[in-house]
Amino acid sequence: MLVFYKERLVFLSVPKTGTTAYETALRDRADIVISDPPELKHAPVYRYNRFFRPMFDKVCHAEMETLAVMREPVSWLGSWYRYRRRPFMLGKPNATHEVSFDDFVAAYLKGDRPGFANVGSQAKFLEPRPNGLRVTHLFRYEDPGRLTHFLEQRLGTGIETARENVSPEMELELSAGTEARYRRKCAEEFALYDSIG
């Protein structure tokens, strides 16, 4: 999470959406950088609303806008799958070395997900709160130019990012049946992604 106080902007860090590259590029420009622990670095909207928003509201009397990035849902799961296939993960309980991508997505769709497929939900991360708090500016991972342009305009600075925390490259195959089930059971993920202008 990055906070730009003067610009009244908080950059929420959705996992597996390339935000580490922006954190590195902008850490010296930000007023607050939360890079650890992961529960705070990747604070979803509900956690931001409960703990961080009241701090800005009550202490600073400042209303902050929020910004986040969302990745196309199949690609997002693919990134998690590849991330958990890194050599470092071999033999660990959450490793995906022993399962196909199709099996990984099928496991993700279960009511009681096994640990290797328990990676959360972008829609849940970004879910608006009953008090009306929602992500003010939502960008697609697949359109980094739009996000960079917005940040350069808002922050008044040039931004150069490098790829970081990248999952191993590999071809992933998802059967039509499993993808159809994913689209049906997690329709909110696709609807939110499709709604991004």
Give the pLDDT confidence of 125-163 residue by residue, as tens digits: 999 999 989 999 999 999 999 999 999 999 999 998 877
User: What average pLDDT does the segment 110-129 reach?
Assistant: 95
Question: Which candidate, 130, 139, 125, places its Cα nearest to that of 45?
Answer: 125
**What is the C-alpha separation between 127 and 123, in angstroms, rounded?**
6
Domain architecture of the chain: domains with CATH? 2-195 (3.40.50.300)
pLDDT at 42: 94
* 164 pLDDT higher than 70: no
Tokens of 15: 């996992």
| 26-53 average pLDDT score | 94
pLDDT greater than 80 at residue 165: no
User: Which pairs with CB-CB distance under 8 Å and at least 24 residues apart come from 37-41?
Assistant: 40/1, 41/1, 41/13
Is the confidence at residue 166, as pLDDT, over 90? no
Rounded to a whole number of angstroms, the distance between the first and last alpha carbons of the chain is 23
